[in-house]
Structure 1
Amino acid sequence: MGMDRKRRRMKKPFFDHLKELNTRILFSLLLILIFGIYVYIEYHFFVEILNKPLIDAGYDQSNIFALTIYEGFQVKITNVFLISLILLLPLTLLNLGVFLKPALVDLSWLSFIFYNIFFTIFYYLGIYSALNLGSYGIEFLLSFNENEVILRSQNYYQFITRVALLFAITFQLPLVTLFLLNKRILNIQLLTENRAELFIFILIISAIVTPTGDPVSLFVFTIPLYVLMEITIFIHKKSSK
C-alpha cells in the first residue's frame, strides 16, 4: 500500500507538483512573516542576544550609532527579517524537504528524519557558537583602533548575522560527512587512518570561516567541530556493525 501511494505521488501531473511547491513556499513565507511580527514585538530581547558578542568583548550598546535619521528603523526591519529567516531556516528546509522526499527513493523516511534532526541540532549549535565566539573576533579586530571605538549599527549587525549563518552552515560538515560515508562515497578507513590530515582540513575550514583568523578564535572553533567529526565517525562505525 505504501508503494502504491508513492507511485501515485510520483505520477502526479507536473502542474499538481508545481501547485504543491507553491503552497509550501507560501506557507514558509507566511511562517517567516508571523515569526517576524513576534521578533518585531520582542525586538529588545533579540537585539540583546546580537549585542552579546560586543558586550563580552568589553564594549556596550553605546558604542553603536546610526549614521542617518532613518538608519535605526532600517536596521530594525533588516534585523527582524534576518533573525526570522535564519532561525526558521531548518523548518523552511524541512517543509521543502518533505516535498522532495518522494523523489529520493533511496532515502528512507527514518533516515530523512534522522538527517533533519541532526541538521537542526548542528545548525543551532553553530549559531550558539558564533554568538559565544564572536567576542574574540570583535576584540581582536577592534584592538587595532587606538581611539574610542564607535561602530555603525548597520555594519555591526550585518557582521554578526553573517557570521552566525556561516557558522551554522559550517557545522553541517559532520552531517555531510556521515551522509557521504553512508553512501560509500567516503571510506571510513580513510578518515580513521588520516586523523592528523582531517584535523588540518578542519583547521583550514575554520581559518576561512572565523572572521579574524586569530589563534584563539581559530582553535576555539576548530576543537568543537573536530569533536563532532569524531562523534560522526563513531556513529557510523556503530551503525555499520
Structure 2
Amino acid sequence: MSDNKAKDLIEAVKNKGKILEAEMSFFDHIDVLRKHLLRSLLAIVIFTSLAFYYYEFLFNTVIMGPKSPDFWTYRMMCKLAAQYPSLGADFCITEIKGKIINTEMAGQFTLQINSCIMTGIVFGIPYLLFELWLFIKPALHEKERKSARGFVFFASLLFFIGVLFGYFIVCALSINFLTGFSISPMIENTFTIDSYLSSIATLTIGTGIIFELPVVIYILSLFGVMTPKFMRASRRYAVVVILIIAAIVTPTPDIITMMVVAFPLFLLYELSIFISAYIERKKNKELYGTSKAPNN
C-alpha cells in the first residue's frame, strides 16, 4: 500500500512539474509579446514626436486640407468638370462651407496632442505588424512561413492605399457634403474642431482597415475558414453589404459618389476571391498532387 502511495506521490509531482512548465512557457510567451508591443509603442512614440516637430505642416496642409477649396481632390474635380461638361457645374467644388470653431479652453492643446498621436499610430502600424510577425513566426512551420512571406509588406501597402483613398476621396467628398448640407437657412453650420478631426480620423483610418480585406481572407483561407466557392456564392450579399458600407462612409445623396467609394471595395472582394482560390489550389496540390480535390 505504501508503494502505491509513493508511486502516486511521484506521479503527482511529475504532473505538477508539467503543469508548472506549461504555465512558465505561457508566461514566457506573454513576456516576449510584451517586449514586441513595447518596441511597437516606442516606434509610435518616435513617429508622434516627429509629428510634433512638423506640426505646422501636419495641421495646416494635411488635417485642414479637405476644408480648403485648393485641396488636390477638388482641383481634379474642377478639371474633370471643365473637360466633361456633362458632369455638371456642381461637380466642380470651389467653396467649402461651414465654420470650424474651438469651444474648449484646452481644445487646441488637446487637438495638437490627439492629432500627433493619431499620426504616430498610422505611421507606426507597419512596424507593429512587423513585431507581431516576429512574435508569430517561431510558431509556424517552414511551409507556413513561406506562405506568409511578404505579409507585413502587403498588409502595410494595402493599409496605406486605403488611408490615401480615404483621405483624398472619402474625406473630401464627405466633408464637402456635410459642411454644405442644411435643412433650413436659419441654421448655420458651425462645427467644433474635435468633430472635424474625429471625422477625418474615422474616415481615413477606417478606410485603411477596410482595405485589409484581402489579407484577412488570405489568413482565413489558410485555416480553411473561407473558401472561394463560398465567396462566389455570397457575391450578391457582398454587393449589398459593400453598397451599405459605401452609403454609410459617404453620406451624400448622389449615386455617383457612393459608387466611387464602392468600386474599390468590389475590386477588393474579387481580389479576395482570387487569393482564396489560389490558397485552395495550393493546398490541394500539396495534399493530392493536383490543383483540384478528388471529389471535384
Provide TM-score, normalisation by structure 2.
0.67
Which of 28, 34, 53 aligns to 1:16? It is 28
2:232 is the counterpart of 1:220:
no
Quote the offset at 1:80 in angstroms.
0.5
Report Cα offsets for 1:132-156 as digits up to 9, x if no partner: 2212112222232346543311110
Which of 45, 48, 56 aligns to 1:44? It is 56
Quote the offset at 1:75 in angstroms.
0.4
Partner-residue secondary structure (3-state), 2:51: helix
Which one has more relative contact order, counting CA pairs under 8 Å at least 6 apart?
1
Which of 119, 122, 129 aligns to 2:165? It is 129
Aligned residues: percent identity? 25
Could you tell me which amino acid in structure 1 is paired with residue 67 of structure 2? L
Partner of 2:5: none
- Structure 2 distance, partners of 1:122, 1:33, is 23
Provide TM-score, normalisation by structure 1.
0.80
Partner of 1:108: 144
- Structure 1 distance, partners of 2:53, 2:109, is 14
Could you tell me which amino acid in structure 2 is paired with residue 226 of structure 1? F
| Unaligned stretches of 5+ residues in structure 1 | 1-9
| RMSD (Å) for aligned C-alpha atoms | 2.9
Native 8 Å contact 1:140 1:212 kept in 2: yes
Native 8 Å contact 1:136 1:216 kept in 2: no
Which of 157, 162, 178 aligns to 1:141? It is 178
- Alignment map for 1:62-141 (pairs within 5 Å): 63-105=99-141, 108-132=144-168, 133-141=170-178
Report Cα offsets for 1:181-212 as digits up to 9, x if no partner: 3433233233335544432232233334x052
| Unaligned stretches of 5+ residues in structure 2 | 1-21, 69-73, 75-92, 282-290, 292-296
Quote the offset at 1:15 in angstroms.
4.3
Quote the offset at 1:228 in angstroms.
2.0
Partner of 2:10: none
Cα separation, partners in 2 of 1:189 and 1:84, compared to 1, 3 Å: same
Which of 205, 224, 230 aligns to 1:165? It is 205
Partner-residue secondary structure (3-state), 2:148: helix
- Structure 1 distance, partners of 2:103, 2:216, is 42
Report Cα offsets for 1:202-231 as digits up to 9, x if no partner: 2233334x0526434422111011112223
Partner-residue secondary structure (3-state), 2:181: coil
Report Cα offsets for 1:61-110 as digits up to 9, x if no partner: x9332223321111001110111112212321321232133334597223
